[in-house]
Structure 1
Amino acid sequence: MLVTLNDLLPQEAQSSGAVACCNVFGIEEAKAIISAAEHLHRPVILAVNKDMVDLAGVEAMAGLLLPLAKASSTKVCVHLDHCYEEAIVFRAIHAGFTSVMFDGSQLPLNENIRRTKNVVDVAHAVGVSVEGELGSVPYQEGRDHIKSEFTEPTEATRYVNESGIDALAVSVGNVHRMTEAGSPINFDLLETIEAATTLPLVIHGTTGIAESDLLKLKTQRVAKFNVGTTLRMAFGNAMREAMEHEPAKFDKQYFASKAIPALRQEAIRVLSLLS
């Protein structure tokens, strides 16, 4: 069943659980993650990141993911992750994405508000939900130009009220693309942000957060956790092991089929943890 963030996050924000937003890079990941969500009777968000936008384009990814979401027995949102260009956001909306993230976190506050609001006005007119970011969640590797900046609660109040977004991604010590847990979460700051806003909150960089902190975060107003690195590691490591075991084989789909069970199992672990 194809849904938006607004069909999922308000309820999750009031519960002791949250929805996993999983980066997908092809049909193997998409089917494994949806299968895991169906197994657990949990909703899930399939996210298309900048790497896949650059490689395939939003139209091709919509063509791949939308039929899978519509055919699923569970609720599936098809989401455009971190996007810095309005033109791509609007293409994604036109292609059928049910949720988009316009990331103005690298912009001055006034410009972030103005440009995010322009996206919100277009998206809401056709029933698409919008995630925004205030502060800036850094990357451990891969995007050195991205700032590291905590979310400022009083700015968060203004950003939420003036932009009209549906979900707020916050920077409270979380870090993208960490391969091991080690991000110290500033829970005092998070609680101040919660007091300053009313929206469902989003945590990026889930792989880098200790399980004990995840269990605490999901009971607060955090309704969406973005998950990527741990799923890629499960899939990539399983494929590498299969290739090393059968060096005479060379077919991509053969090795992908060998790795899908490991990816599905890791997705089940993550979704269960956040439930």
Structure 2
Amino acid sequence: MTLATLTEVLGPALREGYAVPGLVCLGWEDMRAYVAAAEAERAPIILQAGPGCRAHTPLPVLGAMFRHLAEAASVPVVAHLDHGTSREDCRAALDAGFTSVMFDGSRLPLQQNIDLTAAVAELAHSAGAGCEGEIGFVGYAGGATSAGTDPEEAARFARETGVDAMAISIGNLHLQETPGGGLDLPRLRAIEALTDVPLVIHGGSGVPADQRASLAATSRIAKFNIGTELRMAFGAALREAVNRDPARFDRIEILRETETPVALACRAILRNLGASGRV
């Protein structure tokens, strides 16, 4: 059994100069592909159930799926709730067997974000699980505008919440389909100077691959969330599988053909972040 907590995978990443991907899951096929990629690369991974995934599949089912895959794997696999919006969300995930929860209070006033995140961190730690919080607000491509993380607020947030990982806003955006102009390095260095908690970048698909690799090796960023580029790989593989034989209707046969391309895309991400060969 290699079900792991957030601290168990991010601690070594921070010490040894690599980052672990938080892999956004939408269904059984991509989950299986991610674990197959991790096995092939001998790398730790974090399987993430975000709001879209939870709207499609009940949380207890997702917990059982994540735990089943982790318990059969020979590499560390974290079962992570992404963007929980309440203490109740996070408690339900812990009850469902998740080993890590992210409470997202990034749109709340600072004190309220600190208070609620601290409560969730205490809840998670009492269950033997990890907790991620967010300070600043990471916006969305074509949608809500970001609010950059203030380094002094980040220091206070890390100190007063007791989180195991802290998501920050330094030019990253959710849902970018192509790499953007890169992250705000002066803001990152200012945050690093005042905190010692592992840092997390949401919207990792929009960060140029060379900068992801460099920061994984040389900064306190220990987790990059990757979703859009892997969903794009899945979509391309699915369209190819359907178009190869338009008369086919067996969904299992069609969906099975997405797993190898998605696994290959995931393996490239693991290598890029320096996570390969770590376990």
TM-score by structure 1 length?
A: 0.96
Alpha-carbon displacement from aligned partner over 1:170-198 (angstroms, at most 9, x marks no partner)? 11001111110114311011011001101
Quote the residue 1:9 is aligned against: 10
How many aligned residue pairs are there?
272
Taking the TM superposition and a 5 Å limit, the aligned residue runs for 1:200-211 are 200-211=198-209
Gaps of 5+ in 2: 275-279
Contact 1:14 1:221 (8 Å CA) reproduced: no
Contact 1:102 1:119 (8 Å CA) reproduced: yes
Alpha-carbon displacement from aligned partner over 1:141-187 (angstroms, at most 9, x marks no partner)? 4xx4x441111000011111111111000110011111101143110
Taking the TM superposition and a 5 Å limit, the aligned residue runs for 1:27-38 are 27-38=28-39
Contact 1:69 1:77 (8 Å CA) reproduced: yes
The percentage of aligned residue pairs carrying the same residue is 38
For 2:115, give the aligned amino acid: R
Contact 2:137 2:169 (8 Å CA) reproduced: yes
Identify which range, 182-191 or 225-234, moves more after superposition: 182-191
For 1:265, give the aligned amino acid: L
Alpha-carbon displacement from aligned partner over 1:193-246 (angstroms, at most 9, x marks no partner)? 001101000011111111121122112111011011111111111110121121
Identify which range, 74-83 or 251-260, moves more after superposition: 251-260
- Residue 177 of structure 1: SS of its match in structure 2? coil
| Cα drift, residue 63 of structure 1 | 1.3
TM-score by structure 2 length?
A: 0.95
Taking the TM superposition and a 5 Å limit, the aligned residue runs for 1:1-275 are 1-141=2-142, 144=143, 146-219=144-217, 220-275=219-274
Instruction: Supply the distance in 1 between the matched residues of 2:231 and 2:8 (Cα, whole angstroms).
Output: 27
Contact 2:21 2:224 (8 Å CA) reproduced: yes
Alpha-carbon displacement from aligned partner over 1:27-58 (angstroms, at most 9, x marks no partner)? 11111110110111110000001011122221
Contact 2:29 2:258 (8 Å CA) reproduced: no
| Cα drift, residue 16 of structure 1 | 2.1
**After TM superposition, what 4+ stretches of structure 1 lie above 4 angstroms from structure 2?**
none
| Cα drift, residue 257 of structure 1 | 1.1
Alpha-carbon displacement from aligned partner over 1:44-75 (angstroms, at most 9, x marks no partner)? 00000101112222111001111110110000
- Residue 14 of structure 1: SS of its match in structure 2? helix
Gaps of 5+ in 1: none
Instruction: Supply the distance in 2 between the matched residues of 1:83 and 1:112 (Cα, whole angstroms).
Output: 13
Instruction: Supply the distance in 2 between the matched residues of 1:32 and 1:11 (Cα, whole angstroms).
Output: 24
Contact 2:13 2:19 (8 Å CA) reproduced: yes
Instruction: Supply the distance in 1 between the matched residues of 2:176 and 2:59 (Cα, whole angstroms).
Output: 26
Q: 1:175 to 1:183 in 2, by over 3 A?
A: farther
Superposed CA RMSD: 1.1
